[in-house]
């Protein structure tokens, strides 16, 4: 190694899902929404003029912040927006996890958490899920430098009940607790029944992170946001403005506002995905699969006879893409995104033939 190489920061990066190209493939591997964004998004896109891009974007994303604050009934000083929830969470790691004590997150969870912790030199511990992939709340009652977990969890899809979420927050008043709700809109009949957003009023140390990538069909435009106390949001903005004021581009701000406006379309597409998910569970069960009771827009499935890697490769040959994690604890499961009913029927038609 050359002397200067010793000064290069080295981390093991996050590995995103494949983004295969082609018109005839079925893409069920990255938890994207199979339906288009709200009609207002399309209209705004068509009306956008190139002249719009001549100036810098609003560094505060004030119109989008206003729309989100109004949608969730919070103050504008309680909303932070970023370039996808990954950006929001990375900023949160950098801002809030400064203790010498380890932060806590599940051992089977969103794999980016370990990457950020390593990148920012944050000590961490990863309490194991139980044998059925559930988070054990008692594991988060020990001294720590902060807590983060997805709810529903990824890649399992399991939902931690709100009373158990609150117990984790209540027992961790000396640090920041981040609840990553990328998939929460698929969890129940009403987000208020399952989201930790209601708890923000009660706990100043709680940050709830959500995204436009899943339920609002806008993974390609990169919008994420956090809701928390004004103290937390102010701290996030201070860190953001310390290295890049103009993180969110103009199209994202304009199209994000349009997406938030159309509540009816949002509920319609989420409902279709939930309905397809519940039907797909029955079809998978009949084919010999087992899986946790997903409350997300994907199913984490294992077949009783055929190894997951074998199924993954067979599906790829048919241009049907699902997610396979070649790592201990996950390597006999496939994470299958919920597509349209037609896409799922094509998946099951192949599986029925392949599994005999």
Residue-wise pLDDT for 273-301, tens only, equals 999 999 999 999 999 999 999 999 999 99
**Is the pLDDT at 191 greater than 60, yes or no?**
no
Q: What is the pTM (predicted TM-score) of this model?
A: 0.95
Q: Return the HEC string of the chain.
A: CCHHHHHCCCCCCCCCCCCCCCCCCEECCCCCCCCCCCHHHHHHHHHCCHHHHHCCCCCCCHHHHHHHHHHHCCCHHHEEEECHHHHHHHHHHHHHCCCCCCEECCCCCCCHHHHHHHHCCCCEECCCCCCCCCCCHHHHCCCCCCEEEECCCCCCCCCCCHHHHHHHHHCCCCCCEEEECCCHHHCCCCHHHHCHHHHHHCCCCEEEEEECCCCCCCCCCCCEEEEECHHHHHHHHHHHHHHCCCCCCHHHHHHHHHHHHCHHHHHHHHHHHHHHHHHHHHHHHHCCEECCCCCCCEEEEEECCCCHHHHHHHHHHCCEECEECCCCCCCCCEEEECCCHHHHHHHHHHHHHHHC
- Considering only residues 191 and 214, tell me which one the structure prediction assigns the higher pLDDT: 214
Residue-wise pLDDT for 318-329, tens only, equals 999 999 998 888
Share of the chain above pLDDT 90, in %: 88
Output the pLDDT for position 121: 95
pLDDT band at 18 (very low <50, low <70, confident <90, very high): confident
Average pLDDT value for residue range 18-39: 90
pLDDT band at 189 (very low <50, low <70, confident <90, very high): low
**Is the pLDDT at 192 greater than 80, yes or no?**
no
pLDDT band at 155 (very low <50, low <70, confident <90, very high): very high
Output the pLDDT for position 19: 81
pLDDT band at 17 (very low <50, low <70, confident <90, very high): confident
**Is the pLDDT at 310 greater than 90, yes or no?**
yes
What average pLDDT does the chain have? 95
Output the pLDDT for position 193: 64
Output the pLDDT for position 250: 96
Output the pLDDT for position 329: 86
């Amino acid at each position: 190694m050359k002397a200067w190489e010793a000064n290069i920061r080295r981390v093991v990066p996050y590995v995103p899902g494949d983004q295969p190209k082609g018109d005839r493939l079925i893409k069920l591997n990255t938890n994207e929404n199979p339906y288009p964004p709200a009609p207002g998004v399309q209209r705004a896109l068509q009306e956008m003029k190139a002249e719009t891009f001549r100036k810098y974007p609003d560094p505060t994303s004030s119109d989008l912040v206003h729309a989100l604050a109004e949608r969730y009934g919070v103050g504008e000083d309680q909303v932070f927006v970023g370039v996808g929830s990954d950006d929001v969470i990375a900023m949160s790691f950098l801002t809030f996890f400064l203790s010498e004590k380890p932060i806590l997150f599940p051992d089977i969870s969103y794999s980016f958490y370990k990457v950020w912790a390593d990148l920012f030199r944050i000590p961490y511990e990863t309490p194991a899920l139980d044998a059925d992939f559930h988070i054990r709340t008692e594991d988060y009652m020990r001294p720590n430098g902060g807590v983060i977990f997805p709810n529903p969890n990824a890649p399992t899809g399991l939902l931690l009940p709100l009373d158990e979420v609150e117990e984790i927050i209540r027992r961790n008043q000396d640090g920041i607790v981040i609840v990553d709700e990328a998939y929460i809109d698929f969890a129940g009949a009403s987000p208020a029944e399952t989201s930790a957003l209601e708890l923000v009023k009660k706990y100043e140390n709680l940050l709830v992170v959500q995204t436009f990538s899943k339920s609002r069909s806008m993974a390609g435009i990169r919008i994420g946001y956090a809701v928390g106390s004004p103290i937390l949001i102010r701290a996030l903005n201070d860190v953001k403005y310390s290295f890049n004021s103009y993180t969110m581009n103009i199209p994202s701000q304009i199209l994000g506002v349009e997406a938030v406006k159309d509540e009816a379309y949002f509920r319609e597409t989420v409902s279709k995905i939930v309905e397809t998910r519940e039907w797909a569970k029955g079809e998978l069960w009949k084919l010999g699969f087992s899986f946790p009771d997903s409350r997300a827009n994907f199913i984490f499935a294992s077949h009783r006879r055929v190894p997951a890697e074998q199924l993954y490769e067979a599906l790829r040959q048919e241009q049907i893409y699902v997610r396979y994690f070649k790592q201990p604890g996950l390597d006999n499961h496939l994470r299958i995104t919920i597509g349209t009913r037609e896409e799922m029927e094509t998946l099951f038609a192949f599986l029925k033939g392949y599994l005999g």
